[in-house]
Structure formats: structure tokens, C-alpha cells
Amino acid sequence: MLHKNRLFTPGPTPLLPAAQTAMASFTAHHRTADFRALFQRVLADMKEFIGTKNDVLVLACSGTGVMEASVSNLTSPGDQVLVLTAGKFGERWTGLARAFGCHVEELNVPYGQTFSLEDVRARVNTFTRAVFVQATESSTGARHDIEGIAKIVRAQGEETLLVVDAITGLGTTHLDVDKWGVDVIIGGSQKALMMPPGLAYCAVSDRAWKHMDKTTSPRYYFDLRKERKSAAKGETAYTPATSLFAALGAALEFVRGMGNGDLAKGREELVNNAEKCAEMTRAGAKALGLKLYASAPAAALTAICAPEGIDSGKIVKEFRESFDAVVANGQGEMKGQLFRIAHIGYYDYLDTIGILGALEHVLAKVTDKSVEYGAAVRAAQQVYARSVEAVLAAR
Amino acid sequence: MLHKNRLFTPGPTPLLPAAQTAMASFTAHHRTADFRALFQRVLADMKEFIGTKNDVLVLACSGTGVMEASVSNLTSPGDQVLVLTAGKFGERWTGLARAFGCHVEELNVPYGQTFSLEDVRARVNTFTRAVFVQATESSTGARHDIEGIAKIVRAQGEETLLVVDAITGLGTTHLDVDKWGVDVIIGGSQKALMMPPGLAYCAVSDRAWKHMDKTTSPRYYFDLRKERKSAAKGETAYTPATSLFAALGAALEFVRGMGNGDLAKGREELVNNAEKCAEMTRAGAKALGLKLYASAPAAALTAICAPEGIDSGKIVKEFRESFDAVVANGQGEMKGQLFRIAHIGYYDYLDTIGILGALEHVLAKVTDKSVEYGAAVRAAQQVYARSVEAVLAAR
């Protein structure tokens, strides 16, 4: 059969058509009134999308670039920092903080797990300059309790900052940045915003801005204070990825449309959509006797354990060869153990039912066991039908 | 949930991304070497796509425009013609032929049916200047036996022409234009070629070209002899829809890719794909207790009868409102009785499974009867699995 190349990876994710056409047609120079108008509108809308009154900056880099910026701007060599790590992206925080000379403490829990708040509380103290964590750990599909962690960090006072990598979390999980007191929250364009990689962004609290005047880690391209000053004049410090700004503008309009003109409401709709796709997918996987990898699964993606004795690489390969559907293998040590289906951004009912249908054929092929066709799909449909009934009942 | 607008209509059909980008970026003037190169490549490729050595012309109009051209170029007022009609598009032939003063005989069978070859044989005689028919009648989802009809027409000799509207038939059904002796075959861009409306095309036999010198019906824009002369010089007679030619070029490359570099093979793959999607959909509909409208269903689309006492408009509306999926209602007198799901062009396994999953919710909603979730999907999956097994067994 004909194959459409379909991304079910936790970034890049499927592109919004309106974002594609916007970036294809955008040609303005970046030091013009046209670009400044777009830039300022995008920054204002990004505050609403993230749900914060804090300053938002959008940089030409991948998410890791803004992770680095949060380390280099908020720490000095020798600073004590705490990394909460439960996967490959937690480990990235450790690598970054060590690269900038921080004294890194780690709260390390096994892949697939999340942190107990007691353990977090026991490891944070007044010497901790910053706590680094993921909202959702994309390598394991786990959701971390940012609200609970924020409470613990905020109880330390103004000298301890909380930095949250929400690259796959923003737009897929409920986050109240200002109320919870998250100092830096980080996102990337190729996730819930339904556009290609190339932009990453962060919202920075007043507390964090104050710290930056004291820190001494080297930074130049990622100097957030310089970006903030430029942004106040409607510009970026260095050449921005202009076409991606155009795409971002279109994506934000789409999210606003999802909220009937209210961008914040649109973001919640996007989160609800990911939650629904994830709930359908979890029900489908369970109906096939598959186990979920994460103890507290995120809505961003579902990490599913390969059946006993099967290399998950075979599953990934079969999805690709038979359906041109790209799902993600496990990363690092998890490679071969699990596969990951994303729900971030531009996915709908038909995508979710389609990939579960395909999963049944894939399983039948790689396990040589009989699979009851329609079982995963039916379980997902029941989730969908119940949610529709619940909405009708609530009216 | 988030809704992607999805066309399941028998034209326009989903757009091929490569065609979208090609038409978005094409800017060449039509009287330049660049456009002539594209134009000549497209005309040559169109012969392979249609599967004919006859001259192919591509005009800026809808399919009906080329239907008119075949009437106005091949008949004179007062000519006796036979229209084989079994639906709204059959009736269009009658309207066109009467508009140009033909003496129209009709072989009229009820909607959803097709013609018996005995009846056709009984109605064609040496006075019949042309026989007009559809390859697939998009209003009812029926497939007509073009090979059988062609045999009868060809037996009349050189004075009787066969004109086939294959607007939804090309790329969805096997047609051997030259071997069967089809004099004019007609297609449209917004069908199996996976691009927007705006171009229509035809392949014209030597026999038909000879007739054109004798016919006297008025024509100017649609004068095929003028177009043929221009085409020989690498141009169109009037301003061509240039960006759509660019899209057509990209679509033909995609079909060639489906055939691993062989365009004719790619066309057969496209036909097989439509056949598979149609077979899956028919199995799904039957598993839900639904009846097919057509006695000999085409692969281009599946026309499904609404359940007893239900207006099919409700089904169409529910697909749209709950899933933003656009399926077609019946046309004319068939409105309210049936709904139509297309398989023309750019559809894959996930699309087909997704729309069948959605159909189950739609039925549950409009009938208030309990629907066994997964039943239609499972039946379609079994069709798919059997076809994969058959391919493996044949290796």
C-alpha cells in the first residue's frame, strides 16, 4: 500500500500546515519593522502559551541550547546544584552542569521511575543554587511532579532556583509556572508547537534575572541578559531564524483558535488532546497485554515495553517498513527494551486509532503470536466514547 | 480533541505534500523554455500514467470542461450518440450532448447498478457516432465494465467512438486504453493525482482525431486540434495554470517513485492501493451491518447506505462535527440515502483504519443502537493481514 511518512516520535512531531506555509512564504529581513512586529507579537503570545508573566526569550538553537543557557547564566563554577535524574535528559543536565564547573549532586532514580518528594526534600538545602529537572522525561515517558518539587525548592527562599526542562512537557501537561514559582522553564519548537526544530525558548523569573548579575560562568551567544535587552527593542541579539518565527506565529494562532480566540484556553485544549491520545494509547497497549515503561506516565508520549524476548528495535523497524510510521526506540541502555509513541502537538483521533491498528499488525509480525485484531483499537475507542459521554453529561 | 481537516470525498482528495510545495514555489512565465520543459515532461509522463501511446492534452478547466470538449470536438448537431447512464455523472453526458444538439439515446439503469453488456450491444448500431460512459460512477460508487463495452463499440468499426469519463477511474481501476480501443479517456487533477482542482486531461486516439476534421459543433477554448498543435510546439493554446503543472509534475514523480522508477508500475501500485483501501472499507461497513449502495463497487469510493430510517446527512454532519472528516452525501435523489468514502489517490492504511474507527462512533451517535467498537476496524485489519500474507506467500 501507499505509505505516508508519519512521525510518532517525541519530537520532531507532525507539522501544522499553516506553520509550513507561513515559513515557506516568509522573506522579511530581521532588522525591519515587519519582523519586529512579528517578533513582538510572538513574544507576547508565547507568554500566554506558557502561562506566565515572566519574560520569554526565543533563541535560534535546539532545546539543549537553552538548557545550556540556563546553566551558564544561573551558575558560577563551583556552585552546588542538584540534578533530579531519571533518564537520558536528566543525565543531560548533569553533563551540562559539569561542563560549566558546577558541583553536581544527583538524585538518581531508575529509568521509568519518578522522584519521591521526601527524597527531593532531603537533598535540597540552602547551599543548592539551582535544581534542574524535566517536566516529562522523554526517554522513559515518565511525568515528574513539578508542582511538588517547586514547593520544596521555593521553601528554600530566594537563593535556590528551579529550572524545568519542559521541552516535551509544555503543551502536553498542566504547568502553572508563576504560581508554582518555576524560575526558568524551557521549551522547543519541534514539540507541542507543531513546527520544525530550530527554535527554543524559555521564560525567566525576576528572581532568576537578579541572579544573573552575580554569576560568572562564560556565555556569549546564550547570554540571556543581552537577549532580554534586544527583545525590549523588538529584536534579537543575533540573527534570528526568521522563517521559523513566522511558523511560530502561525502555530500560536492555531492554538488560539483551539481556544476560540483565547490562547491560554487553547493551550489547555492542546494539553487535553495529548492526555486523550495518551489515555487511548495506554488502554490500547494494555489490551494487547503490553506493559508501560513509566510508573507515572506522561501525556507527551507513551513508552511501551517490548514483549519478553523481543528487541524493540524490531518493532520500530516493522512500523517503519510496513507503515512508514516512525516511532522511537529506547535511548542508551533502554535501547531494545521499549518503544515510544508520541502525542505531542498535532495528533488527532484518526492518528491515534491508525497507529494502534498498525501496532496490532506489528506485534503479530514480530511475536509470531496470534493477536486479536481490533483489541487495542476497541480499548482506545472505549476511552474516547467515555470521554465524549462525560463531556455531554457535564453540559 | 484536536481535529485535522481530512477529505474523504471523491475529489478533491488529500494533497500530496510534494505537489503542494511544487505549486507554492513555481513562478515561471508560461512562454519560456523553463515552462516548456516542464510542460513537455508532464505530457510525456501523462501518457505513461494513463497507459497510452495516444496524444495527451492537459487543459485549465474542471473535468466537465474536457467532457464538453469531447462532445464538441467529436460530434455535429443532429448526430446520434448513446449515453450509458447510471448516476449523476452519466446524466451529465446527456446534458452535454443535448446542449450541443446531439440526438441522445440513453441506456438508463437504476442508480447503484451497472449495464448488462447485452443491453449495451442492443443499443449500439452503425448510426451511433459516439458512446459516452463513466469508468466509475462517483455518485453511486459503481464500476462499469469498460473492457466489455469497448469490445462492443469497437465491433461497430471506425465510425463509432468510445468516450470514457475516467475522472475518478484513472489511478483507481485497471484500464487498458490502447488495447481496448478507448477513443477519448478523461481525467482530472483533484483525483488520483493528489493535487487541487484546476486541470483536466484527456488522451485522444488517432480515430478520434480523424473525426474532428468532419465535426461541426462550435468550440473555441476547447478546440482540441488547436491544443494539439500548440502542444507539438511545447505550449498550450491559452494561458496554462502554471503552478498546477508544477504540482502535476511533482505528483507524477511521486507515482514513479511508487513504481521504483517505473511510472506505469507506479500507476498500478496506486490502483492496488485504492483497491486495498476499498476492500478494507467494504469489509468494515459490512461488519457493522451496513449495506453497500453499488452492485459492482468501484475502488475509487465506497458508497454506503444509511441504516434504515436514518438520513445520511446526519452521518455526514456527525463525521464533520466530531472528527472534521469530510465524507460525501448522496447527490440529487440519492441525497439522504447514502454516504461516500473515497479511496482515490493519497490514502494509506492509517487513514482507512482511522475513518472506520470514526464511523463506529458516528453510527453509535446517529442510530442510538449499541455498536461493537472495533468491529469494522477488525474486519478491515483482517483484509489487510490476508493481503500481506498473500504477498509473502507469492514470493
What are the tens digits of pLDDT across the range A288-330?
999 999 999 999 999 999 999 999 999 999 999 999 999 999 9
- B interface mutation test: which of A349, A355, A356, A389 has the most B CBs within 10 A? A349
H or E stretch covering A256: helix A242-258
Cβ contacts below 8 Å, chain A against chain B, sum to 129
Residue A354: pLDDT band (50, 70, 90) is very high
Predicted confidence (pLDDT) per residue in B199-231, tens digit: 999 999 999 999 999 999 999 999 999 999 999
Residue of chain B whose alpha carbon sits nearest to that of A266:
B2
Cα(B268)–Cα(A326) distance, integer angstroms: 26
pLDDT tens digits for range A100-157: 999 999 999 999 999 999 999 999 999 999 999 999 999 999 999 999 999 999 999 9
- What pLDDT is recorded for position B201? 98
Q: Which pLDDT score, from 0 to 100, does residue A306 have?
A: 98
- Global pTM value: 0.94
By Cβ distance, the residue of A25, A355, A374 closest to B350 is A355
Has residue B84 got a pLDDT over 90?
Answer: yes
Q: Tell me the per-residue pLDDT of A23-82, one tens digit each, with 9 for 90 and over.
A: 999 999 999 999 999 999 999 999 999 999 999 999 999 999 999 999 999 999 999 999
Residue A120: partners with Cβ closer than 8 Å, 6 or more residues away:
A84, A107, A148, A149, A152
Looking at the partner chain, which of A350, A373, A388 has a beta carbon nearest the beta carbon of B385?
A373
Average pLDDT over residues A336-358: 98
Q: How confident is the model at residue B369 (pLDDT cuts 50, 70, 90)?
A: confident
Residues of B in contact with A258 (CB under 8 A): 2
In this prediction, residue B395 carries a pLDDT of 85
Give the pLDDT score at A91: 98
Q: Is the dihedral of CA B218, B219, B225, B230 positive or negative?
A: positive
Res. A395: pLDDT tops 90: no
Mean pLDDT of B306-328: 98
Amino acid at A317: K
Q: Which of B6, B353, B360 to mutate to test the interface with A (most CBs of A within 10 A)?
A: B353
Distance CA A305, CA A338 (A): 4
Q: Report the percent of chain A where pLDDT is more than 90.
A: 98
pLDDT at B368 over 90: no
Q: What is the pLDDT of residue B202?
A: 98
All domains in chain B, ordered by first residue: 6-11+262-394 (3.90.1150.10), 17-258 (3.40.640.10)
Minimal Cβ distance to B354: which of A322, A324, A350: A350
Q: With cut-offs at 50, 70 and 90, classify the pLDDT of residue A369.
A: confident
pLDDT of residue B218: 96
User: Could you give the 3-state DSSP secondary structure of residue B218?
Assistant: coil
Residues of chain A positioned with their CB less than 8 A from the CB of B324: 348
* B13 interfacial to chain A (CB closer than 8 Å): no
Q: Which residues of chain A make contact with B280, given a CB cutoff of 8 A?
A: none
- Cross-chain Cβ contact A1/B364 below 8 Å: no
CA distances from B29 to B35, B85, B228, B241 (A): 7, 42, 20, 10
Within chain A, strands assigned E span: 6-7, 55-60, 80-85, 103-108, 130-134, 136-137, 142-143, 161-165, 184-188, 199-204, 301-305, 325-326, 328-329, 338-342
The question of ipTM being above 0.90 is answered as: yes
> Which residue of chain A is at minimal alpha-carbon distance from B387?
A1
Is residue A375 within 8 angstroms of chain B, CB to CB? yes
Q: How many CA atoms lie within 13 A of A277 on its CB side?
A: 31
Residue with cell 453511486: B140
| B375 contacts in chain A (CB < 8 Å) | 374
How does strand B338-342 pair with strand B328-329? antiparallel
Of A390-394, B88-92, B183-187, which range is least confident? Answer: A390-394
